[in-house]
Amino acid sequence: MSVQIFLLLANHVLFCYSVLLDERTFMIYYIVWKPLEKLENNMVAQELFHEIANNPFSYVESWKNKTGGKVIGYFCSYVPEEIITAAGMLPVRIFGQSDQIEMASSYLQSYSCSFIKSALEDGLSKKYDLLDGIIFPQTCDSIQRLSDIWRMNIKTPFHHDIILPAKLNSESSINYIKELLHVFVEAIENFFGRKIDSEDLKKSIHLSNVVKNTLKQLYEIRMSGDGLIRSKDISAIFKASMVMDRESFTNLFLSYVKELSEMVPEKSDPKRIMLAGGFCSISDFYQIIEESGGLVVWDDFCTGARYFEGKISETEEPVSAIAQRFANRVVCPAKHMGLRTRGDYIIDRALKTRSDGVILVSLKFCDPHAFDIPYLRDMLEKENIPHMVLELEDSSSSVEQIRTRCEAFIEMI
């Protein structure tokens, strides 16, 4: 890595001098150094993604100052961000940054998951005061109550609950989703005084499909084992995709992926690991797996495959199309599609991606995921797919313990 930085600096220096020096120097620049510019662009993009992933609200603040636009915070991938984008507003996914919980413990008991605790802590410490709106979907019991606590204490100007159905496999539930989405559109229009028309929706749906498709492509690039991208970078890209102005992100992202696919692969033979769970709050986790000789080939994370799988139809009526995708995409354990739907998806992907092992990641106090673990283990067992259960507490969970367990697992498979 440091060699590349050195080369980049050298690149800059040479370019500066080359305009002063003779033609020959200039030619050297173009033959030797220009290709490094591709690497440079990608590195700049990558740094930007990481920067935004680590400090989403700095970005949001400057976006707001620059454009004067409205920012809508949301929890969960079941929120129709396409509707928010169509209204010309910026949808920003809330991840909860605070590690130290001080204020939130006067509002939430200790047996709540670190995700909602830290989100509430951030909210109470006024980090989200620049939000113009906040959207709470129906998912788990904790989010349901967080919505009430937030509404009573933080009072974001536009507070909207989209109470999606808990079951997704009936006609009545799909009709209900459609009605809810229409209500959501109207609520935004009334509160912000801005019309959302079919054309706006079609545009934002198209953009959303492009991003999702490209995110999938990124997974496939990683899965090829060519070492072109690290999971830590993918994770940052995902976070950035849920925070940045969607058009700016898309342009940057598309060229990033294009250049990535033109790079020279370095062959290696890592152990292929699939992850299953909600999301991973520990940023070092991916690095730990990679350092232990593993390669993350797929996941069913809410901030991963669940986010991009399934295209929104661009020919159907837009709101119905968004509703239909919610009914078809990879299911979240807080919802019901079938008794083994999630298990079937995980097995199918594990086999298709030639995974050597599956790590079931669960966040402490996350009930929906915890209930799934025994049956997922049974299904993996039947298919003779090695697996391990890893319970994470919060972003400060003992990295050493995780490393030991991952190393042992990867070595064993």
Partner 1 sequence: MNSAEYSRKIRSVKLMKDIMTNYYIEAKTPKEQTCKKIAWITSGGPVEPLITMDVIPVYPENYGAMIGATKMGVDLCEKAEEMGYSQDLCSYARADIASAVVNGGPIGGLPEPDMLICCNNICGTVLKWYEVQARYFNVPLFIFDTPVCHTEYTKENKNYVMSQIYEYIAFLEEICGKRFDYDKMHEVGRFSIEAQTLWQAVLDTMANTPSPMTCFDAFFHLALIVTLRGTETVVDYYKILLEEMNERIKKDISMVDDEKHRLLWDNLPVWFKTKWLSDKFASYKAAFVADTYTSGWCSSMEYLDENNFLDSMAECYTRIFLNTGCDIMAERIVKMVDKFKINGLVMHSNRSCKPYSFGQYDIGRIVTEKTGIPHLIIEADMVDSRSFSESQIETRIDAFMEMLC
| Residues near partner 1, by CB under 8 A | 106-109, 111-112, 138, 140-142, 144-149, 151-153, 161, 163, 165-167, 170, 172-173, 175-176, 179-180, 183, 333-334, 336, 339-340, 362, 364-365, 367-368, 370-375, 377, 389, 391
The least distance separating partner 1 from the CB of residue 6, rounded to whole angstroms, comes to 49
Identify any residues that bridge with 387 across adjacent strands, giving them in sequence order: 358
Q: Are 81 and 73 in contact (CB under 8 A)?
A: no
- Which one, 111 or 267, has the nearer CB to partner 1? 111
Rounded to the nearest 10 degrees, what angle do helices 246-261 and 198-223 cross at?
A: 30
Q: Shortest Cβ distance from residue 371 to partner 1 (Å)? A: 4
Considering beta carbons, is residue 103 or 263 the nearer one to partner 1? Answer: 103
Nearer to partner 1, 200 or 372 (CB): 372
Nearer Cβ to partner 1 (226/367): 367
The amino acid present at 12, given as its one-letter code, is H
d(CA 202, CA 316): 10
Instruction: Give the torsion through C-alpha atoms of 301, 303, 304, 306, to 10 deg.
Output: 70
Half-sphere exposure of 315 (CA within 13 A, CB side): 0
- The least CB distance from residue 141 to partner 1, in Å, is 4
Name which of 92 and 177 has its Cβ closer to partner 1: 177
Q: Which residue has the tokens 């030797």?
A: 32
In whole angstroms, the minimum distance from the beta carbon of 47 to partner 1 comes to 38
Distance (Å, whole) CA 384 – CA 347: 10
Distance (Å, whole) CA 38 – CA 118: 38
CB closer to partner 1 out of 118 and 138: 138
What's the closest the beta carbon of residue 377 comes to partner 1, in angstroms?
6
Q: How many whole angstroms separate alpha carbon 117 and alpha carbon 233?
A: 26
Give yes or no for a contact between 331 and 305, defined as CB atoms under 8 angstroms apart: no
Least separation in angstroms between residue 304's CB and partner 1 is 21
Give me the torsion for CA of 33, 37, 42, 43, rounded to 10°.
Answer: 60
Enter the DSSP assignment of 75. Answer: -
Q: With respect to partner 1, which residue has the nearer C-beta, 38 or 145?
A: 145
The one-character DSSP state at 163 is: -
**Smallest distance from the beta carbon of 286 to partner 1, in angstroms?**
24
